Structure formats: C-alpha cells, structure tokens
Amino acid sequence: MAAAKILVVDDDPAIRNLIYRFLSKQSYQMEAAEDGKGALAIFEQFNPDLVILDVNLPDANGYDLCKEMQARTGVFILMLTSRTDEADKIRGFNQGADDYLTKPFSLGELEVRVGAILKRQRPVTAAEQQRLTFNQLAIDPVRREVTLNEDLVPLTALEFDLLHFLASHPGRVWRRTELIQKVWDYEYVGDQRVVDVHIGQIRKKIEIDTTQPALIQTVRGVGYKFEPPQENAEEAS
C-alpha cells in the first residue's frame, strides 16, 4: 500500500520544517507550504490524503482554506493553531476539520493524531461494505457516499464515519466518550461537545426537522442513537 501523502501548511519555518522532517521519517510522502496561495498550488498537484493546516496564515484564513480544500476532494484536515479557545475548535470542526491540535504540542501526540486520522482510509471488511438503506436515506461505505431522496448529501469525512457508525448499530445508545473512541479512534483530550457539533452538522443535512430529529436521536444524560424509520426498521440491506 502506497505511503500516505501529507501536506503541512504553516508560516513558521521552524514548526513547518520540524513536522516535515519528523513525518518524513515515518515514511509519509511530504510536501510543505508557507502560505495559502502556495498551499493550494501544491494541493492541486500533490493531491494529499491529509493536510496539517495552520489557522493563521499571512494571506489566508485557515478555516476558509479548510473549507475550500474539502470542497475539492475528500481530504482529511488536521487544524494546527496556537488558539486554545474552545469556540475556535468548534468553528474549525464546523468548517470540516477532522481534528484539532493546539500549539505547543509533542511530536508523539502529532504522530498519534495523524495515524488515527489516516486509519479511516483502511480497506473496509466485507461486513463494513454493506450498503445501508433506510427509506430514502442510503449509506454506501464503499463509495463513501450518502444519498437522500437520490440526492447526494455533502458530508465531510468525519461526518460520514460518524453517521455510518451510528447507522451500523441501529437502536443502540452510544455515549459521547464511546463515539470518540470508536470514530475518532483514539483517546480524545478535550471537550466532548465536539461530538454534539458533528451530530448537529449531520442533522442539518439529513433530518426533515432538526428541532425534532427522527433519525439521530438524543438520549438525555447518555448520548445518541440512530433510530431507523419504523416501516423500514427491518429492511436495511
């Protein structure tokens, strides 16, 4: 299997070079950019699997760049910033970021985060390839596509993983900590409200009424569950 391709974008040469050298030693294919314009040019040619993206760039807003890159491909985005405000993290997740690492950070933590994100590229098993259908909602894990009334639903990579995981276990209630462990694939250190943010984003795209969600339901004091429509509950294929 070919080594994953990673683009690191940071205007601080010390941090950029440190990440570049460290991940190169882990056998990843690496490219680097110091600003938004350079990042987009390399992005088009390199077609990375993951972008490690600094929020504060001299010529671009990292949040906007994240959104633009993910509109072009299904690339994973790891936001990198000195900001520690939880509101900034939530904003990053709303723009499609898959993870968020705050400076200063250890190289060990960076390695774990990168590895966890890229594991989502792993080949799916036969059971995981099963297409899930719930009335007009269809989830295709092979193509990584979700359709509603035959229209494609634009989900980020992490939103797809979260929806697919919940829909693969209909009726089961999952705590936020369990979802982080299963979907994020590591022990997330931070506010568990990031789960709520992603659930909210998915609901906007698949629920008829987000104030009374029918598919992804909140179980107060516990977490979330996927509840198939009654007439279709036993027809998932």
Q: Which of 90, 80, 18 is nearest to 55 (CA)?
A: 80
Q: In whole angstroms, what is the distance from residue 58 CA to residue 193 CA? A: 30
In terms of domains, do 10 and 86 share one?
yes
In terms of domains, do 170 and 111 share one?
no
How high is the pLDDT of residue 10? 95
pLDDT tens-digit profile of 146-181?
Answer: 999 989 998 888 889 899 999 999 999 999 988 888
In terms of domains, do 102 and 143 share one?
no
pTM of the model: 0.59
Q: How many domains does the chain have?
A: 2
The yes-or-no verdict on residue 198 having pLDDT over 80 is yes
How high is the pLDDT of residue 71? 79
How many other C-beta atoms are found inside a 10 Å radius of the C-beta of residue 229? 13
Residue after which a domain boundary falls, among 96, 121, 146: 121
**CATH number of the structural domain spanning residue 212:** 1.10.10.10
Q: In whole angstroms, what is the distance from residue 49 CA to residue 223 CA? A: 31
Range of the domain at 63: 5-121
The yes-or-no verdict on residue 72 having pLDDT over 60 is yes
Of 33 and 197, which is predicted with more confidence?
33
- Give the C-alpha distances (Å, rounded to integers) separating 39 from 33, 77, 152: 5, 13, 28
In terms of domains, do 91 and 181 share one?
no
**Are 59 and 82 in contact, with CB atoms under 8 Å apart?**
no
Q: In whole angstroms, what is the distance from residue 176 CA to residue 218 CA? A: 11
Q: In whole angstroms, what is the distance from residue 120 CA to residue 104 CA? A: 26
Residue after which a domain boundary falls, among 121, 144, 175: 121
- Section 206-225 average pLDDT: 91
In terms of domains, do 9 and 114 share one?
yes
Is residue 237 in a domain? no
pLDDT tens-digit profile of 11-43?
Answer: 999 999 999 999 999 989 999 999 999 999 999
